[in-house]
Structure formats: structure tokens, C-alpha cells
Amino acid sequence: MKFFWGLGKLLTLLFWAVVLTNLLKPLVNPFDLLINLAGSLLALTHLLELMLFNGSLRGRPHPWRDRLYILLFGMFHVQTLRTSRERDIHHA
């Protein structure tokens, strides 16, 4: 499963690169609007995820870095937080 979370993070990062490239140099007419709309919806979704999972970040060593990663990667980072927390519990 760790491979799939990493692959999801990579694909999300590639999508954000496409959105930023589209902002700097827009594509042809229908695609630039669709990419901007998809990027806006994904940013809104990641902000909602950040608000929902903000309470679980309070005990983390670097909560601001985790917040940034949630804004970039969304649920792919949240899933890795859960596995690392479960791993810490099993080692204790």
C-alpha cells in the first residue's frame, strides 16, 4: 500500500505542476478553463481535508509541515499519517 500512496503523491504533484504551468502559460481555450476549474476544486477539497484533520495534527512533531503536505497531497498524506501513528503504537 505504501507504493500506492507514494504513486498518488507523485501524480498529485504532477497535476499541481500542470495547474501552475497553465497559470503561467495558458493552454488553448477549453483546456485552460477546465484545468483551472479542476485545480480550484482540488484546492478547495484539500482545504476541507485540512480543516477536518487539523485536530489529529496537534500531537505531531512538525504540524505545520504536515498541514502543507495535506494542502499539496490531500488524503495521500493523511493516509501516511495514519500508518505512521499505528506503527508507533505497535512499537510502544
Each residue's pLDDT tens digit, 5-23: 899 999 999 999 999 999 9
Range of the domain at 80: 2-91
| Best CA proximity match to 5, nearest among 92, 89, 84, 88 | 84
- pLDDT for 91: 54
CB 50 within 8 A of CB 75: no
Confidence band of 88 (pLDDT split at 50, 70, 90):
low
DSSP at 88: H
3-state class (DSSP) for residue 43: helix
Q: Is the pTM of this model over 0.75?
A: yes
Residue 42 CB-half CA count within 13 A: 19
Overall domain count for the chain = 1
User: Which cell numbers hold the place of 61?
Assistant: 512533531
